[in-house]
Structure 1
Amino acid sequence: MSDTPLRLVIFDVDGTLVDSQADILGAMHLAFSAEGLATPPRDQVLGVVGLSLDVLMPQLAPQADPDTHSRLVQGYKDSYMQLRALSGAAQSSPLYPGARDVLEALQAQPDTLLGVATGKSRRGLDKLIEGHGLHGLFVTQQVADFHPSKPHPAMLHSALSETGVRAEHAVMVGDTSFDMDMAAAAGIAGIGVGWGYHSADRLGAAAHTIESFAALVPLLDSIWSD
């Protein structure tokens, strides 16, 4: 029996595993247009990706009232679902280069578990997993339906609880400051990625950074070599 401790690699989804910005921007435009509001600039929208919708809409539309925020949330959800249905999840939210190979390589390690912690809804994550054929990869799946928005550490606390992995044996891989701040709050090492929606200068809470998926497995080997 292996004396290696069980390890957990938790991934953010949008901007980390998949590039969903086309549908995010398209759905946001449709939602705002339906309310007669100007769509926020691209950088502003991508800057809040990762937050739960009920948290990010007041940031994107600070002058709107709560009822309008609620309609924007629902309008975004409906529009995103419609856009995804047009081309399918795999086409509308493609995996970043190297993502599938790394996920499969990590899954093949007997002492490594995989999880996700995402601002997506349960429905949205299920559609993505189905579209990319990722069934069975993620043993713990934390979604926005059941937790406070990132960077609150509730998602990561639940992931550790569900898997029985200690915080020092887990990492959080993500592209935003929300992911890195969440990891720090949970006592988990954050690995910031350079291909997502937040620039490197916003990932100050990251313990490590990588510029490609190919760098992840060697980094984890280094982190866990002690």
Structure 2
Amino acid sequence: MRYELVIFDWDGTLMDSIARIVSSMQAAALDVGWGALEAAAVRNIVGLGLPEAIAELCPRITAGQAEALKERYAWYFVTGSEADMSWYPGVEQGLAQLAATPGMRLAVATGKSRKGLNRAFSEHSIEPLFAASRTADETRSKPNPQMLEELLVELEVPVERAVMVGDTEYDMAMAAALGMDGIAVSYGVHSRERLQACRPVVMADDFQAVMDALLSRGS
């Protein structure tokens, strides 16, 4: 039987927003006087909640600087960045197909804030495809599995009938902590080697491979 619940990460898995995240964080860090951040370092924290990401990127940052950095990052990401964002190839059509599959529901587990996810839902008119969602400011940040636990309880799905789809080891680690299957996508921020170390059930090089795994697994 197929999975009853497919839980997707957002940035780096569904939406190609990495360039905007990186450029926004780099610009914000300069604005608050922290200094230059390497692009690779910023890419590494994609998927974490914003406070956790800032703490990782800027050790010993003061509370005031961290708050200012959050505000400047949000401004750049929403308004000030010229970096494009778009769906990865096949995502928009694929999500619609999955949502229409009998016995399958979709959810989101993301490092975005609720405000940020709701904005993305509204901009793309896609919220009706998802039965539920959790954001990092509503619960504990990845790789803690709390957001997955809450989704399973809310939707009344046993862990063995759910799967997490994501592009980072944070996604795969939180799934593994619950004994949940993970499908890793190699086109996001973390390398195939890092993802493979988390032992996903599938390594997908594009979204079509995700679709193939979800619609054929166990059938």
Taking structure 2 as the reference length, what is the TM-score of the superposition?
Answer: 0.92
Q: Which residue of 2 aligns with 1:219?
A: 213
1:193 has 2:185 as partner: yes
Structure 1 pair 35–181 and aligned structure 2 pair: CA distance change class (3 A): same
Mapped partners of 1:221, 1:30: distance in 2: 41
Give 1:54-69 correspondences, 5 Å limit.
54-69=51-66
Q: Which runs of 5+ in 1 are unaligned?
A: none
Q: Which residue of 1 aligns with 2:204?
A: 210
Mapped partners of 2:28, 2:2: distance in 1: 46
Contact in 1 for aligned 2:3/2:163 (Cα 8 Å)? no
% identical aligned pairs = 39
Mapped partners of 2:185, 2:159: distance in 1: 20
Q: Which runs of 5+ in 2 are unaligned?
A: none
Equivalent pairs counted in the alignment come to 217
Mapped partners of 2:2, 2:42: distance in 1: 40
- More moved, 21-30 vs 51-60: 21-30
Mapped partners of 1:82, 1:217: distance in 2: 33
Deviation readout 1:82-108 (Å, 9 max, x if unpaired): 237x7xxxx942000010121011111
Mapped partners of 2:124, 2:217: distance in 1: 29
* Aligned residue identity for 1:184: A
SS at match of 1:115: strand
Contact in 2 for aligned 1:28/1:39 (Cα 8 Å)? no
Taking structure 1 as the reference length, what is the TM-score of the superposition?
Answer: 0.90
Give 1:14-93 correspondences, 5 Å limit.
14-83=11-80, 92-93=84-85
Structure 1's consecutive aligned runs of 4 or more residues displaced over 4 angstroms after TM superposition are: none
Mapped partners of 1:187, 1:70: distance in 2: 36
RMSD of aligned residue pairs (Cα, Å)? 1.8
Deviation readout 1:38-75 (Å, 9 max, x if unpaired): 22111110111001111111211114223322221222
